[in-house]
Each structure stands twice: as C-alpha cells, then as structure tokens.
Amino acid sequence: MLDKNMELVFLTVVISLGCVALLLFLQWKNLQGPPCIRGWIPWIGAGFEFGKAPLEFIEKARIKYGPIFTVFAMGIRMTFVTEEEGINVFLKSKEVNFELAVQNPVYRTASIPKNIFLALHEKLYITMKGKLGTTNLRQFTGQLTEELHEQLDHLGTHGTMDLNNLVRHLLYPVSVNMLFKKGLFPTNKRKTMEFYQNFEAYDEGFEHGSQMPEFLLRNWSKSKSWLLAFFEKNIPDIKAYKSEKDNSMTLMQALLDIIEIETNEKSPNYGLLLLWASLSNAVPVAFWTLGFVLSHPSIHRTIMEGISSVFGTAGKDKIKVSEDDLKKLPLIKWCILETIRLRAPGAITRKVLKPVKILNYTVPSGDLLMLSPFWLHRNPKYFPEPELFKPERWKKANLEKHAFLDSFMAFGSGKYQCPGRWLALLEIEICIILFFYYYDCSLLDPLPKQSSLHLLGVQQPEGQCQIEYKRRK
Ligand code: HEM
C-alpha cells in the first residue's frame, strides 16, 4: 500500500516538474528573437553574402529558417516577415514606425539631419499626398502630354537605341519640368549629358550610399554633390517660377514654402530626394512595361487596336490624351500594374519601437522590420501563376475606386504609402500611348534578366535591350 502511495507521489512530482519545465521553456521561447543569420565577422555580420544578391538571400533564408528570420548586416538587425501574422504586424502595429526606419538612409543619401527630417516629414508628406492625389491628377494630364510630345520630337523619324536609355530621355525631362519648374531640365547638349551621367551614377549607388559612409564611395559622392549644386543654383528660379497657364504651383514650389517657413535649410537636399523618388522607380517600370508588351505580340496588337479606336489611325494627328480616353484603354494600366507586381521593390521597412510578438518570437525594439513586396508578389497563395505576365488578373481590381489587388504592396502601405503612385501610373500610361501612337517599334534583343540587387527600389535590367523605332506616316 505504502509502495503504491509512493509511486503516486513520485508520478505527481514528475508530471508537475514536467509541466513547470514546459512552461519555462515556452516562456523562454517567447522571449527569444527569431532565428538570426549573423555570419562571423563582427559588425559586418552577413553583410557580404547579403549584399551580393539580397533578394536571393531572403528567399533562401525563408526556405531554411521559416516565415520570420533576422539578418544581421553592417551593424543593423533586419527582421524579415513573410507570412500573414508578421505582415499584419508590419502593416497595422502602432509599435512600428516609418519615419525612424528611413531617417538614417535619408541622412546618408541626401544629407538631411534627423532633427530636420523628423520635424518636416509629416507636413511635407501631407502636401505631396494632396498635390499628387487622385482628385488633383487631372491637372497633370495636359502637362504630361505636352512635355512628352516635346521629348518625342527629339527622337526623330527613326533610330535604334537601348530601350532603357530611350525611356530615360523621355521621362527625365518630363518629370523634372513638371515637378520642379517648366524648362528646368537642361537643353544644352553638354549639360544634358552631365545631368544624365550624374543622376545615373547617384541612382546606381543609392543602395550602397544608404548604408555606407560617404567617404568610401568617391564617385557616388561626386555625383551627389553635383546634383546638390544643381539644385542650390536653381532653387531661386524654381521659387520665382510662375505658370503661364494658371496660378498653380509645382510640387517643389509647394514643398519649398513649407521648408522655408519651418527651417529655411536644406532646400537643395529635398530637391535631390524628390528627384530620386520621382525617377528611380518610374523609369525602370516604364522600361519593363514597354519590354513586356513588345515581347507579347498579341497584347501589343490589342493595345494598338485600342489606341486606334480611341485616337484614330495611329500616327496621323497631334493628339491630346484625356481622362476619358484613358478609361477606354484599361489594358495599358493593367500591363503597367502587372509589370510593377513582377518588378516590385525588394523591401520596405519600419523600425520596431517596442518589442512585438510574431508567431512564437519576440522581435526586439531597434530592429528594422522588413517586408518584401517582390517575394510577396511571388507567393502563389496571393497571385496564382506568379511568374507569368498576366495583365488580365487586374480585371478584378477596383481601379475606378483606386484600389489595387489585395496583397499588392509595390507602393508600400499604410500611413506613408507612396504619394506619387497615381502620378507614376498616369505618366507611364501617357508615355506608352504616345510612343505607340507615333512609332512603329520592335525589340532587337530578348528582354534582359532582372538584376536581383535592388532592395530599396524596383528591379533594374541586367543588360541592354535594343529597340528599333520608326515614326508612322
Ligand atoms: C512605379 C513607380 C513607383 C514605385 C514602385 C514607388 C514605390 C514607393 C515605395 C515602396 C515607397 C515607400 C512606401 C512605404 O514604405 O510604405 C515610396 C515612397 C515614396 N514615393 Fe514612390 N514609387 C513610385 C513612383 C513615385 C513617383 C513618381 C513619385 C513622385 C512624384 C514618388 C514619390 C515618393 C515619395 C516622396 C515617397 C516617400 C514618402 C514619405 O516620405 O513618406 N514615387 N514609393
């Protein structure tokens, strides 16, 4: 009998201890951060491996470590979320913050100190959101058409050119003249070349420039200084500019008003930021869209039929594009959105202010929470047959009500979603319509691969792609 009692007590003690151990284990696991890839070099961590091909690195890490993992590189902890629970925290939690996540890259790339950036950001953002919002967009349609006509005239009657270069020659002057001041983009050949060279070098080095001290990037630093000097010289003219048509201010003029009232400092630096934001994604997206359409003959044909049915025989007249015309050509917008889905930015980021729980892990404060639109858009759960260029999937989106497809995150999300998204779509739509209306064209090369180097912005082509174009009679 005594033996039986002893046995019972022993069993109860073992079970209780087991429960306590399990509880402690679970609690310990809860306090644990996600699996961390840190390499073996102090501070640099996994920096070299990650920097070589960040997008591939992220996907390999997801397969190996699961839906949430941390990468330690160049002194920074980046915690990537890839599934629902983590994405919800990224999008909705009050404990994660946009401004504090981007303040450091803004300082490195445009030399705007933290205190000025944080003091101005909200006011500048509200102004951009208003000026570039859907209700204000009509104002840009005429200006875009006019500017694009001017740039298309410079293409001449026929030629062969790298498609990316062609798009740059159209969209750099159009964006600069529209957002800053009409006529600001240089027209003199030497100055134009200088502008192209310096902006391209700045854009190419932007990713490294956002992470490394400037003295390590001599050429990039030179281009940055050239662009800052360009704005320094032109700010007085931008301020004094008055539109001949109406009294409307350009976007940069509206931003300058705020900057001057609040600090009166760093105007050229904000000019540089706006320049980069307006060109760095829109230009490659226009390139890829033209490339995808031209390499899908049936889509190209349908688009041409649409253009002729709205504007008459292609190439005949000098056409104006209106909002109503655009509504009759939905396939063009679907092609642009499908392109953006496939070439989306590598990652968007938020700073963790207080520890947040995701799955069984606790992500500590100070981490950068990272979400990859590029990989999210390749999840077949959200986009069936994700690798295929299928513009018709956008039929389901309520674009009339300005809603994209669920899980489309190329313009970011939440409070500080890209304020230029509607302008970008409009600009690329009109560019495609006018180019196809006036020019008969075909690709001479296969579409290049995308380089998987871009975490901050959309993906760039890895090589050249020649296009042959001929003005229609
Ligand atoms: C297809 C083209 C574009 C893409 C894919 C794109 C994408 C993005 C993304 C992902 C963000 C970060 C949002 C977030 O973290 O939630 C952003 C921010 C921003 N974008 Fe765009 N963008 C494009 C075109 C433009 C254009 C044409 C402009 C200007 C006219 C512009 C101006 C900005 C600005 C100023 C911000 C920073 C907003 C802030 O400081 O809060 N973007 N964009």
Q: Is 128 in the pocket of ligand 1 (CB under 6 A)?
A: yes
Q: Closest residue (by CA) to atom 41 of ligand 1?
A: 416
Per the model's pLDDT, the better-predicted residue between 1 and 341 turns out to be 341
| CA–CA gap between residue 179 and residue 403 (Å, rounded) | 25
pLDDT reading at 12 higher than 90: no
**Binding site membership of 459 for ligand 1 (Cβ less than 6 Å):** no
Ligand 1: which of 167, 175, 418 to mutate, judged by most atoms within 8 Å of the beta carbon?
418
469 CA to centre of ligand 1 in angstroms:
31
The CA distance from 373 to 344, in Å, is: 6
pLDDT band at 419 (very low <50, low <70, confident <90, very high): very high
Q: Give the separation between CA 116 and CA 123, rounded to whole angstroms.
A: 12
Closest C-alpha to ligand 1, atom 31 = 420
Neighbours of 341 (CB within 10 A): 27
Q: Would the CB of 424 count as within 6 Å of ligand 1?
A: yes
Q: Whose CA is nearest to atom 6 of ligand 1?
A: 411
Are the C-beta atoms of residues 325 and 145 closer than 8 Å to each other?
no
Long-range residue pairs from 221-224, CB within 8 A, at least 24 positions apart, any chain: 223/197, 223/198, 223/199, 224/109, 224/272
From 350, 344, 421, select the one nearest 92 (Cα to Cα). 350
The residue whose CA has the least distance to atom 1 of ligand 1 is 282
The residue whose C-alpha atom lies closest to atom 25 belonging to ligand 1 is 420
pLDDT at 19 (0 to 100): 62
Q: Is the CB–ligand 1 distance for residue 345 below 6 Å?
A: yes
Atom of ligand 1 nearest to the CA of 132: 30
Which residue's alpha carbon is at the smallest distance from atom 2 of ligand 1? 282
Residue nearest to atom 16 of ligand 1 (CA): 412
Rounded Cα gap, residues 145 and 149, in angstroms: 6
For the chain, domain boundaries: 37-471
Beta bridge partners of 315: none
pLDDT at residue 27, rounded to an integer? 53
CATH fold group of domain 37-471: Cytochrome p450 (1.10.630)
418 labelled binding-site residue: yes
CA distance 133 to 125: 11
CA distances from residue 5 to 9, 11, 117 in whole angstroms, order as listed: 6, 10, 72
Number of the ligand 1 atom closest to the C-alpha atom of 251: 30
Q: Which of 38-47, 110-119, 291-300 has the lowest mean pLDDT?
A: 38-47
> What percentage of the chain exceeds 90 in pLDDT?
87
Residue 71 and residue 46: Cα distance in Å, rounded? 7
Round the average pLDDT of the chain to a whole number and report it.
Answer: 94
Nearest ligand 1 atom, CA 348: 15
Q: Note the pLDDT tens digit of each residue in 454-472.
A: 898 999 999 999 999 999 9
Report the pLDDT value the prediction gives residue 393, as an integer from 0 to 100.
98
Closest listed residue to residue 370, CA positions, set 2, 67, 45, 52:
67
- By three-state DSSP, how is residue 407 classified? coil
pLDDT above 60 (res 47): yes
The 10s digit of each residue's pLDDT in 83-136 is 999 999 999 999 999 999 999 999 999 999 999 999 999 999 999 999 999 999
Quick: pLDDT tens for 240-287: 998 877 778 999 999 999 999 998 899 999 999 999 999 999 999 999
Q: Is 348 in the pocket of ligand 1 (CB under 6 A)?
A: yes
pLDDT at 25 over 80: no
Q: For the CA atoms of the chain, what is the radius of gyration? A: 26
pLDDT digits (tens, 9 = 90+) for 162-172: 999 999 999 99
DSSP code for 450: B
Distance, CA 461 to ligand 1 centroid (Å)?
20
**What integer pLDDT is reported at residue 30 of this predicted model?**
47
For ligand 1, what atom is nearest to the CA of residue 412?
16
pLDDT at 28 over 80: no
